[in-house]
Structure 1
């Protein structure tokens, strides 16, 4: 994840373009810190959340969950504990948040779309929900 400040604008940029910005456990934890840092910065007046590469974000990194032997158990436990601290709303961010969707936006990425104050979608943005194809619905 990249955290940038450009004048009064704080930028939170999903930065796993090789995985279409799918959220792994490290990225999930980085979000809580990043939202709080930008919200606490008096120079930042607005926060823009976007993605690097050809996707905004594609939900949870299913390969991580399935690949390391303990990933699914860790994911299941976090869901039981309501460990959803990756959006501005979950962190109580008071500054306006703009979600700028570029390319693919799928699954868990809808959390950021729903929680944003303003959503801007690029002309090539594609929204879809893969939960059915991975057996979650």
Structure 2
């Protein structure tokens, strides 16, 4: 079912899993001002929807997302024609919400993920790509720097040397290389991508929601914490999770040698 009707994206929800699809296939899902405004609204909705326990993000057609739509007529006509203002108002809130939303995000990368499209993949928790997918930090090709958090994500995922080369030389790298470098979790045959990614997202939607949310939050904090401070985070979160119904169910299922039935509570 759809809670809201969007023009450039689609949102479907079923049994705890929300599937968010970038839906401008004629432009390889390039991000227009309208699309990023709708994405901002959509992610904010997903963040507060207690019925959603995991999100699957993908693109319609043969591309995941070709980056910002440079031909978008709204770019120069809008109050955010200034590139920094556009980031402030739309793009940065989307990335912040994706990282903060207390539920796992799986990206199914079909085809090209360029510019901010690559940022969307990196901002997800688990990214799976089809074999024909590719990744490109396109910004330097047009005289810009990587945004959408890419200057933060890249060094953490692939190391400083590769991050600088990816950003400055702007090569297009295939999915298998992205996996080898640690940019993404896995690569599968194109024909199996949506089945594999949906199964993965479904498994997370049926999982221990509180624990998954705390895993995400703990890892978010880890990049700024000392080991000692992070040990305290783990202690506090573990205390909370140890009181959850899902932990009791997990232990009971383990002892009974059966599959747990987590309720996300």
TM-score normalised by structure 1 residue count: 0.85
Residue from 125, 128, 151 that aligns with 1:120:
128
Residue from 47, 66, 70 that aligns with 2:77:
70
| 2:115 is the alignment partner of 1:107 | yes
CA separation in 2, counterparts of 1:85 and 1:39? 12
SS of the residue 1:10 aligns to? strand
Give structure 1 stretches of 5+ with no counterpart: none
CA separation in 2, counterparts of 1:29 and 1:23? 10
| 2:57 is the alignment partner of 1:42 | no
Instruction: Point out the structure with the larger strand share.
Output: 1
* Mapping for residues 1-137 of structure 1, pairs under 5 Å: 1-64=9-72, 69-70=76-77, 74-79=81-86, 81=88, 83=90, 84-87=92-95, 89=97, 92-137=100-145
Instruction: Point out the structure with the larger helix share.
Output: 2
CA separation in 2, counterparts of 1:113 and 1:71? 27
Of the structure 1 ranges 84-93 and 27-36, higher mean CA displacement relative to structure 2 is found in: 84-93
Of the structure 1 ranges 113-122 and 20-29, higher mean CA displacement relative to structure 2 is found in: 113-122
SS of the residue 2:18 aligns to? strand
Give structure 2 stretches of 5+ with no counterpart: 1-8, 146-265
Q: CA 1:7–1:73 in structure 2 vs 1: closer, same or farther (change >3 Å)? A: closer
Give, in angstroms, the shift of residue 41 of structure 1: 2.0
Q: RMSD value over aligned CA atoms?
A: 2.4
Structure 1 contact 31–85 (Cα < 8 Å) conserved: no
Q: Which consecutive aligned stretches of 4+ in structure 1 deviate over 4 angstroms post-superposition?
A: none
CA separation in 2, counterparts of 1:105 and 1:64? 18
TM-score normalised by structure 2 residue count: 0.46
Q: Which has the higher contact order (CA 8 A, sep 6+)?
A: 1
Give, in angstroms, the shift of residue 17 of structure 1: 0.4
